[in-house]
Amino acid sequence: MRLSRNVIAAATIAMACQGAVWALGNGGSDAQQKRLESHLRIARDFATNSDYAGKETFRKAITLAEQVNANPASGDKERQQALEALKKASKEYLANRPGEWVRIKNGKMWTDDRGREVQAHGAGFILLNDTYYMIGEDRSDKWRPDVNMYSSKDLKNWKFENKIIANEKTHPELGSTRMIERPKLFFNDSTGQFVVWCHWEARDYSASEAGVFVSDSVAGDYTFHSGGRPLGIKSRDCNIFLDDDGTAYFISTIEENTDLGLFRLSDDYLEPVDYTVLFPGDRREAPAIARKGDRYYMLSSACTGWDPNPANLSYTDTLTKGWSPLHKVGNPIAFDTQAASIIKVEGSKDTTYLYIGDRWQDPNLPESKTIIFPISFTDTDCAFNYVPEFDINFATGEWRPVDLREGMADRSGWKVIESSGEKAGNPVGNIFDGDLTTIWIDEAATPTAEGEDAIQYFVIDAGKPVAYKGFRATPRSDAGSSEGLVRKYRLETSADGKKWATVSEGDWLPYWTYVDTDPESARYFRFSSLGNHSTSLAEFDLIAQ
C-alpha cells in the first residue's frame, strides 16, 4: 500500500519518538527548512488572530506542515509540497472572511491599541493574509527617527507590534550620527526572510546611503545587514517595488536629488545587482510605483523638503525604459501630501489602489499625519480621489464615496454678517454654496492693531442656535503651492454676536478634514485666519451633534 506523504511524515515522527533511527531521512537543506518555518509562523499568526469559517481545516493543514517540517526524513521536495499545501490552505481560509465596510477618516493622528499616537511616517506596508504590517519613522524624538511596526486588518485599528529598528540598540550609530527615513518592507518568499530597505542618513543628509535590515519573523527585532551607497551611488528618498514575477527593486533619488535610480535587487533582496537611471535631471523624490495589468505607474514629487508640491505621474510597460513624460495629477499640492506608498487592495470583486501619503507638519514633524485615499489608474492617467473620508471593503476590494454633507449642520439660514473683505468675483458667501469650485478670497491685510498680524475673517449668523461639535474648513483645491491656505486659525462662537469665546485654535489647521470641538450650541461663528497672508476657503461647515 502506498502511504500518502503526510501519513509517512506522521509515522516517521512516531518512530522517532519510539527511539527509531534518525538517519532514515535526508533532512533537506537548512534554507528550505528555514523557509517553511517562516511560512508556518505566518500561518500560525493568521490562525490565531482571525476567526473565519473553515478554521479547523486550516489548523489541520498547519499541523500537517509542522509534522513534515519536524520530520528528519523530510527532504526539500517534501517541504516544498508541505509549503504549497500550506499556502493553498491559507488562501482558502482567507477566501472565507466576511466582507465588511470600513470607514477611513483622514486628518487626525492615529492612535494604537495602547492609546498612544501612531508614529510611522514615510510608511511602508506588506500584507500577510488579512493583515497589513506597516513600518515607518518614529519621529517622537523629531531628529532621531528609528522604526516602528504596527499591524491592522483595516488600516484603521492599529496594533503596536514592535520598535523593529531601535536607536542605539540595532546599530551603535543610529540615534546619534545616523537616522532612518522612509523604511520599506519586503517579505522574501524564497528565503522566508523579512527585509527592510531605507534611507540610511547622516543628520545633515551628507551620507546619502541606503540601509538594509533583516529578520526571520515579521515583527522583528531586525538586525543590521548593510549600509552604504548602493553600487557606490549617492542615494536619498526611497521606496521599493516588488514585481509580479518576484523581482524586487529599490528606487531612490540619486546624485544629489538629480535623478531617480531603479536598483534591481538580488534574489534574496539583500543586494543591488544593477541599476537604471530614470528621469535624469528632473529632480524627483518620494517615488511610489504600482502595477496594473502590464503597465507600471509611478507617482513622485518635486524636491521641496517638507512642503507639499504637485504629484507627477509617469507610466511605462517596461520598468527600465519608456517612461512617459511626467505630468501633474491631483491638485497643486497633492492634497497637502507627499507619497509614501501605494497599496493594491485586491478583493473578490474589484481592485482598489490606495495612496498613502505624508501630510508633513513642519515645524512639529511628529504631528505629521498619514493620509489615505483611493486613486484610480486609466491607461495614461491617475485620478486622485481625495476625500476626507471614504468606505472600503478589504474582502471585496471595493470602495465607495461618503456623502460629505452627512453629519453636517443645515446651512440654509446662514448669512455672513461681517468679514475682513473679499476679492471681486470671490465673495465670502461662496463658503456655503455647496460648490467646491467657487471660493472666498481675501487678499487685503487687515491689521488688528499696531504691529500685529493681519487677520482674515468672517462672521456667520446661523439664524438660530446650532448644536455643533466641530467644523470643517475646505480649502480651495486649485491653488498653486499653498496659496491662501489657512494654517494658523481660530474659531470663536457667540450666543448674541457680542460676547465671544474661542472654541478651537492652532498653528496648523487640518487640511480639508474634521476639527472636533467640545459639543456646544451657538448662533454666531467667527472664523479667522491668523497667518498674516491672503486667505481663501472653498467651504465652511459645522459638524452637527
Residue with cell 550620527: 177
- Which of residues 287 and 388 has its CB atom nearest to ligand GAL in the complex? 287
Cα angle 385-388-393, degrees, rounded to a multiple of 5:
70
Judged by CB under 6 A, which of 254, 286, 387, 485 binds ligand GAL? 286
- Segment 115-174, which members bind ligand GAL (CB under 6 A)? 122
Tally DSSP H helices, then E strands, for the chain: 4, 31
Whole-number minimum distance, CB 206 to ligand GAL, in Å? 13
Site residues for ligand GAL, 226-255, by CB under 6 A, read 237
Q: How far is the CB of 340 from ligand GAL (least distance, A)?
A: 9
In angstroms, the Cα distances linking 167 to 160, 164, 175, 234 are: 17, 10, 5, 23
Q: Collect all residues with Cβ–Cβ distance below 8 Å to 216 and sequence separation of at least 6.
A: 34, 37, 38, 192, 193, 194
DSSP 350: -
Q: How far is the CB of 400 from ligand GAL (least distance, A)?
A: 31
Q: What are phi and psi of 156, to 5 degrees?
A: -130, -45
Separation of alpha carbons 373 and 510, rounded Å: 16
Compute, in degrees rounded to 10, the torsion defined by CA atoms 452, 456, 461, 466: -90
* 445 touches 535 (CB < 8 A): no
Residues near 499 by beta carbon (within 8 Å), at least 6 away in sequence = none
Q: Site residues for ligand GAL, window 8-37 (CB under 6 A)?
A: none
Q: Segment near ligand GAL (CB under 6 A), from 11-19, 299-307, 379-387, 504-512?
A: 299-307
Our finding on whether 484 is near ligand GAL (CB under 6 A) is: no
Q: Judged by CB, which is closer to ligand GAL: 12, or 338?
A: 338
Of residues 180 through 219, those in contact with ligand GAL by CB under 6 A are 181-182
Q: What's the closest the beta carbon of residue 238 comes to ligand GAL, in angstroms? A: 9
Which region, judged by CB under 6 A, interacts with ligand GAL, from 43-51, 60-68, 301-309, 516-524? Answer: 301-309
Residue choice 78, 209, 285, 336 for contact with ligand GAL (CB under 6 A):
285
CB closer to ligand GAL out of 79 and 184: 184
Stretch that binds ligand GAL, among 303-311, 369-377, 413-421, 443-451 (CB under 6 A): 303-311
- 305 lies in the site for ligand GAL, by CB under 6 A: yes
Please say which residue, 303 or 436, places its beta carbon nearer to ligand GAL. 303
Number of Cβ atoms within 10 Å of the Cβ of 120: 25
In the complex with ligand GAL, which residue's Cβ is closer, 78 or 181?
181
Residue nearest to ligand GAL (CB): 305
Tell me if 178 contacts ligand GAL by CB under 6 A: no
Cβ contact 236:201 at 8 Å: yes
DSSP string, 360-411: --SSSGGGPEEEEEEEEE-SS-EEE---SEEEEETTTTEEEE--TTTTBPP-
Rounded CA-CA distance 94/88 in Å is 10
Please list the residues that pair with 12 across neighbouring strands: none
- Quick one: 84 or 362, whose CB is closer to ligand GAL? 362
Tell me which residue of 352, 365, 329 sits closest to 145, measured CA to CA: 365
Asked if 445 and 451 count as a contact pair (C-beta separation under 8 A), the reply is: no
Does position 311 bind ligand GAL by CB under 6 A?
no
Residue 336 binds to ligand GAL (criterion: CB under 6 A): no
Out of 338, 341, 361, 474, the only residue in the binding site for ligand GAL (CB under 6 A) is: 338
By CB under 6 A, the residues from 429 to 458 that bind ligand GAL are none
Cβ closest to ligand GAL, residue 238 vs residue 515: 238
The residues binding ligand GAL (CB under 6 A) are 122, 181-182, 237, 285-286, 303, 305-306, 338
